[in-house]
Amino acid sequence: MNQKERIEQLFETGILPKEEMRALIEERDEESSEELFVKARIRKEENFGKDIYLRGLIEFSSYCRNDCFYCGLRRSNTKAQRYHLSKEDILTCARQGYALGFRTIVLQSGEDLSYSDEEIADIVRSIKKEMPETAVTLSIGEKTYEQYLLYYKAGADRYLLRHETADPVHYAKLHPSDLSFENRKRCLYDLKKIGYQVGAGMMVEAPFQTLDNLVEDLFFLKELQPHMIGTGPFIAHKDTPFKDMPSGGSELTIFLLGILRLMFPKVLLPATTALGTIDPYGREKGIMAGANVIMPNLSPKNVRGKYMLYDGKISTGEEAAESIEKIRKRMEAIGCHVKNVRGDAPGMGPENRQ
Ligand code: SF4
């Protein structure tokens, strides 16, 4: 097959044989990228029109018990600035987001054991009680089925847990031995079983990643059928074991966004902060390649610079929720419209909750 035929088949059927998928990525060039993005926009617009959904991100704790080799929040990083927000602080951020028009709040943190499960459930419950039309997304790491169920019963709607890489051998090169792909996978399937809208996704151009790893990621996602896929380039952090590893660029991530949109026409696909960090127009390019979600930061200004997953992470200017008007204008400039709605995955709105 040539690139044109591969893209046509992917557009028509949502899948390609593994070797053709590999070749599609390997042989990408400007022409095939543009063809892919045109098709990806068709699929996006069939399902979401020109709408862009916003998520207000509250990074409520920079403590983490884990030691992932790529992450600036890893517990061994003694230079990381640690903070955790109180329930009141979190609610204040959520209220500000609500006033700005956000109808999805994402509560993200390292795996910080200082919050009890009941405290997390209470925070979720309080947001839902005060702002019932707001969806709450949690992104707080690997937990047991019972913990996930407790948060769901408290009202959490969605859960983000990137799988990072679907190859257990590659996984072991990015994480210490107490973390495994097997458990990550178990978590993702538990979340789906409970009824969450589930987000997974891989790190692109991660250290030691091969093209075959990326193909495995795509096929793992096909099997999992997540409702959201968050994917962005690896960016090295200076106080981690991967400090000297080369950071990824935006081009491959954006190409993969196009593939993901054709594989998953209805998926919620963010143009991630990492993409916007590595390329000043990364998010616009991501949207033009099929993405339909943007996640501005709602964390209090005094802690934003401390949630340093990787170097240079954008947290001011357009990234700040206060600049929401600027984001709206940037999206209008590429023919899209920011919508003040929950923006659920199709068929997964509040009326479908179990
Ligand atoms: S990637 Fe997540 S779990 Fe791993 S060290 Fe960073 S915050 Fe912790």
Q: How confident is the model at residue 321 (pLDDT cuts 50, 70, 90)?
A: low
% of residues, the chain, pLDDT over 70:
97
Ligand 1 within 6 A of 66 CB?
yes
Ligand 1 pocket member 64 (CB < 6 A): yes
- Written as one string, the DSSP assignment of 53-117 is EE-EEEEEE---S---TT-TT-TT-TTSPP-B--HHHHHHHHHHHHHHT--EEEEEES--TTS-H
Label residues 149-161 b or e (16+ Cβ within 10 Å = b). Answer: bbbbebbbbbbbb
Q: Is residue 72 within 6 Å of ligand 1 at its C-beta?
A: no
Q: State if residue 139 touches ligand 1 by the CB under 6 angstroms criterion.
A: no
Cα 83-85-87 angle, rounded to 5 deg: 160
Q: Which residues contact 296 (CB under 8 A, 6 or more apart)?
A: 54, 55, 56, 57, 318, 319, 320, 321, 323, 324, 327
Please tell me the residue having the least CA distance from ligand 1 atom 4. Answer: 68
- Tell me the pLDDT tens digit for each residue of 221-249: 999 999 999 999 999 999 999 999 999 99
Interval 67-77 mean pLDDT? 98
Q: How many other C-beta atoms are found inside a 10 Å radius of the C-beta of residue 179?
A: 17
This prediction has a pTM of 0.96
Query: How far is it, in rounded angstroms, from Cα 94 to Cα 136?
Result: 10
Assigned token pair, 327: 């984001």
The predicted model gives 89-103 an average pLDDT of 93
Separation in Å, CA 113 to CA 63, 68, 73, 144, 322: 8, 16, 14, 13, 31
Strands of 51-54's sheet in order across: 293-294, 51-54, 337-339
Look at residue 205 in the predicted model and tell me its pLDDT.
98
pLDDT band at 312 (very low <50, low <70, confident <90, very high): confident
Instruction: Look at residue 249 in the predicted model and tell me its pLDDT.
Output: 93
Domains recognised in the chain with CATH numbers: 3-343 (3.20.20.70)
Whether 110 is in the pocket of ligand 1, judged by its Cβ within 6 Å, is yes
Task: Express each pLDDT in 174-223 by its tens digit.
Answer: 999 999 999 999 999 999 999 999 999 999 999 999 999 999 999 999 99
- Identify the residue with better confidence: 290 or 319: 290
Q: To test the ligand 1 pocket, which listed residue (62, 63, 64) has its Cβ within 8 A of the most ligand atoms?
A: 64
Distance from C-alpha of 32 to C-alpha of 307, rounded to nearest angstrom: 37
273 pLDDT above the threshold of 90: no
Ligand 1 site-directed mutation target among 57, 73, 184, most atoms within 8 Å of CB = 73
Which numbered atom of ligand 1 lies nearest the CA of 309?
Answer: 6
pLDDT at 22 over 90: yes
| Residue 131 neighbours by CB under 8 Å, 6+ apart | 94, 95, 98, 105
Q: Find out whether 134 and 342 touch, Cβ atoms under 8 Å.
A: yes
**Mean per-residue pLDDT over the chain, rounded:** 95
Closest ligand 1 atom to Cα of 75: 5
pLDDT, residue 354, reads 75
- Listed range (114-128, 269-283, 314-328) with the worst mean pLDDT: 314-328
